[in-house]
Amino acid sequence: MIEVKNITKSFDGKTILHDISATFHTGKTNLIIGQSGSGKTVLMKSLVGLIRPEMGEILYDGRDLLKMDSSQVKDLRKEIGMLFQGSALFDSETVLGNVMFPLVMFTKMTEAEMRDRALFCLERVNLKGADKKYPSEISGGMQKRVAIARAIALNPKYLFCDEPNSGLDPKTSIVIDELLSDITHEYNITTIINTHDMNSVLGIGENIIFINKGYRDWVGNKDKIFETTNEALSDFVFATDLFQKVKDYVVHNSHHIR
Amino acid sequence: MLLTNSIATFGSYCLFMRRVFSIPDKLKIFLRRTVAEISKLGVDSIPLVIIISLFIGAVIAIQMQLNITSPLIPAYSVGLATRDIVLLEFSNSILCLILAGKVGSNIASEIGTMRVTEQIDALEIMGVNSANFLVLPKIVAFLLFMPVLVVFSISTALFGGYFVAFVTDIITVSRYVYGLQALFQEWYVWYGLIKSVVFAFIISSVASFYGYYVKGGALDVGKSSTNAVVSSSILILFFDVLLTKLLLQ
- In whole angstroms, give the CA distance from residue A139 to residue A125: 14
- In whole angstroms, give the CA distance from residue A48 to residue A80: 8
Q: Give the pLDDT of residue B153.
A: 96
Residue A210, beta-bridge partner list: A33, A218
Task: Dump pLDDT digits (tens) for A187-230.
Answer: 899 999 998 888 888 889 899 999 998 999 889 988 888 877 88
Q: Give the pLDDT of residue B48.
A: 95
To test the contact with chain B by mutation, choose from A68, A70, A85, A91 the residue with the greatest count of B C-beta atoms within 10 A, namely A91
For B:6-25, CB contacts with A below 8 A are 25
- Please classify residue A88 by burial: count the beta carbons closer than 10 Å to its beta carbon, then call 0-12 exposed, 13-18 middle and 19+ buried: buried
| Order of strands across the sheet that contains A63-64 | A14-24, A2-11, A55-60, A63-64
- In whole angstroms, give the CA distance from residue B19 to residue B12: 11
- In whole angstroms, give the CA distance from residue B44 to residue B42: 5
Domain count, chain B: 1
Rg, C-alpha atoms of chain B: 21
* Residue B84 within any structural domain of the chain: yes
Whole-angstrom CA distances from A71 to A117, A155, B133 are 26, 20, 17
pTM score, whole prediction = 0.86
At position A109, the amino acid (one-letter code) is M
Q: Give the pLDDT of residue A254.
A: 65
More confident residue, A241 or A188: A188
* Residue B7 within any structural domain of the chain: no
A39 secondary structure, DSSP code: S
Q: Is the pLDDT of residue A61 over 80?
A: yes
Q: Per the CB < 8 Å rule, is B122 touching A86?
A: no
Q: Per the CB < 8 Å rule, is B125 touching A80?
A: yes
Q: Give the pLDDT of residue A257.
A: 52
10-residue averages of pLDDT along chain B (249 residues)? 89 95 92 95 95 95 86 86 94 95 95 94 90 96 96 96 90 91 92 96 97 92 95 96 91
Task: Tell me whether 0.85 is exceeded by the ipTM.
Answer: no
Q: Is B70 left (phi over 0), alpha (psi -120 to 50) or beta?
A: beta
Cβ atoms A176, A168 nearer than 8 A: yes
Confidence at A122, pLDDT banded by 50, 70, 90: very high
Rg, C-alpha atoms of chain A: 19
Q: Which residues of chain B have a CB within 8 Å of the CB of A101?
A: 126
* Residue B13 within any structural domain of the chain: no
* Residue B19 within any structural domain of the chain: no
Q: Give the pLDDT of residue B248.
A: 86
Residue A127 φ/ψ, nearest 5 degrees: -125, 40
Residue A14, beta-bridge partner list: A11
Rounded to the nearest angstrom, the gap between the alpha carbon of residue A14 and the centroid of all alpha carbons in its chain is 26
Rounded mean pLDDT, A62-86:
89
* Residue B32 within any structural domain of the chain: no
Rounded mean pLDDT, A227-238:
81
- Please classify residue A240 by burial: count the beta carbons closer than 10 Å to its beta carbon, then call 0-12 exposed, 13-18 middle and 19+ buried: exposed
The percent of residues in chain A predicted with pLDDT above 90, rounded, is: 46
* Residue B36 within any structural domain of the chain: no
* Residue B48 within any structural domain of the chain: yes
Whole-angstrom CA distances from A154 to A9, A97, A143, A161 are 31, 14, 18, 16
* Residue B12 within any structural domain of the chain: no
Structural domain containing residue B120: 44-248
Largest CA distance in chain A: 59
* Average pLDDT of the residues of chain A: 88
Q: Give the pLDDT of residue B212.
A: 96
Residue A55, beta-bridge partner list: A8
Confidence at A164, pLDDT banded by 50, 70, 90: confident
Confidence at A256, pLDDT banded by 50, 70, 90: low
Q: Which residues of chain B have a CB within 8 Å of the CB of A76?
A: 127
